A and B are shown apart, each in its own frame.
Chain A
Amino acid sequence: MNICEQILNIAWILLGIGICTKSIQMNLWVPAGPGSGLVPFMAGLIIGWLGLFQFISLWSKRSERGPERRFVESPIARKRIIFLLLGFCGMALLLPILGFLFAAILVTSFLLIVIEPKKILKRIAIAVISCFAVYTLFVTLLRVELPRGFLGF
């Protein structure tokens, strides 16, 4: 966890520097008053400075640290998280190609099977029912425009 913290602190420092540099290019001050870069510059300054502060204070306490813990301890949880993120990415990729309904059924079934691999048919049935219920609520009742696939829904 400490390594993750330090990586994030370095990211904060870099982000802060990046924001400040870009903000200066956008002008912090113009003759009429504050420029477009003023508020982002202030934010960037705080981000960079606090990132550095956290980095140094964590570094100085390195002798007091306990044993290094993993970011996600349980391997099952790690697998679930990765699959869930893959599912979301799959949904974003398939949405414009297959349309909402097909993409949703495919991805939700996949997720339910890989996350809790028991009684697969029951899980697929739940995925299909959930997708149809949500589709009916949004498209039929609330008239929300969702992406349509090659079959028209």
Chain B
Amino acid sequence: MSIGTIWRYGDDINTDVIFPGKYTYQPLTPEEMAGHAMEDLDPSFAGQVKEGDVIVAGENFGCGSSREQAATCLKAAGIAAVVAKSFSRIFFRNAINNGLPVIELSEGIEAMKKGNTLSVDFEEGVVAYEGHEYHFPALPNEVIAIIEDGGLISHVRKELGKG
């Protein structure tokens, strides 16, 4: 179970506004990446986001470029989960591969407001908000194994017997 404060965004939030292209080919530390998170969409985000906060958005979150920093900068900023109506497929994969939980929720999103809190029960597949419970489908086993191992790189390390 995880409880967090909501950052609320709309549809088609693209990876350029989550993490600008001008930083994409620079080697940055996780803290530096977190400092640029959402820079072109919401300049208040990087300064105010707290560990455990959640992002709630509409359709097609993370569309655009394949840059993995769009997922890792949010994780580095402390985001515990992104809840959206739908995700772009590359962002969805990148998030899981870096241990950032992504939840596809078909109902309830409209009502969720910035600054309110939301709780997520990953095991039961339930998002709770202001007394309502919304269910999300469990992720495929392959995917759960990757998240449990803390991301794809450590998952494959383990599979290959490299510890």
Are A and B physically bound partners?
A: no
Mark B residues whose CB is within 8 Å of A.
none
Mark A residues whose CB is within 8 Å of B.
none
